[in-house]
Amino acid sequence: MLKQATLHQLKVFEAIARSGSFTRAAEELFLTQPTVSQQIKMLTKAVGQPLFEQIGKRLYLTDAGQEVLTVCRDISERLSQLEMILADLKGLKQGNLRLSVITTAKYFVPRLLGPFRHRYPGINISLQVTNNQRVLERLSENLDDLYILGQPPDNMDVSLRPILENPLVVIAPHNHPLAQEQNIPLQRLAEELFIMRESGSGIRMAVERFFKENRVAINVVMEIGSNEAIKQAIVGGLGLSVLSRHVLALEGTKGPLTVLDVEGFPIQRHWYVVYPANKQLSVVARTFLGYLLDEGKQIAQQTTLEIMHKK
Ligand code: PGA
d(C-alpha 171, C-alpha 149), whole Å: 22
Residue 34 has pLDDT above 50, yes or no: yes
Q: 103 CB under 6 A from ligand 1?
A: yes
When pLDDT is cut at 50, 70 and 90, the band that residue 250 belongs to is: confident
By most ligand atoms within 8 Å of CB, the mutation choice from 197, 246, 272 for ligand 1 is 197
Q: Are 257 and 174 in contact (CB under 8 A)?
A: yes
Helix H or strand E segment including 127: strand 124-130
d(C-alpha 223, C-alpha 208), whole Å: 13
Given 3-state DSSP classes, what are the helix, strand and coil percentages for the chain, each rounded to the nearest 5?
A: 50, 20, 30
Mean pLDDT of 69-89: 81
Mean pLDDT of 95-105: 92
Contacts of 54 (CB under 8 A, 6+ apart): 60
When pLDDT is cut at 50, 70 and 90, the band that residue 251 belongs to is: confident
- The 10s digit of each residue's pLDDT in 255-291 is 899 999 999 999 999 999 999 998 888 888 989 999 9
What pLDDT, on the 0 to 100 scale, is given for residue 41?
96
What pLDDT, on the 0 to 100 scale, is given for residue 59?
93
Residue 210 has pLDDT above 80, yes or no: yes
**Which of these ranges, 15-29, 69-83, 205-219, has the smallest mean pLDDT?**
69-83
Mean pLDDT of 93-102: 86
Nearest CA to ligand 1 atom 2: 202
What pLDDT, on the 0 to 100 scale, is given for residue 175?
93
CA distance to 20, 34, 76, 80, 83, per residue, from 17 (Å): 5, 17, 14, 20, 24
Residue 104 Cα to ligand 1 middle (Å): 6
Helix H or strand E segment including 270: strand 270-276
The pLDDT > 70 percentage for the chain reads 95
Look at residue 53 and give its three-state secondary structure: strand
Residue 311 has pLDDT above 60, yes or no: no
Q: Are 299 and 112 in contact (CB under 8 A)?
A: yes
Mean pLDDT of 138-151: 93
Beta-carbon count within 10 A of 155 CB: 6
DSSP type of residue 224 = -
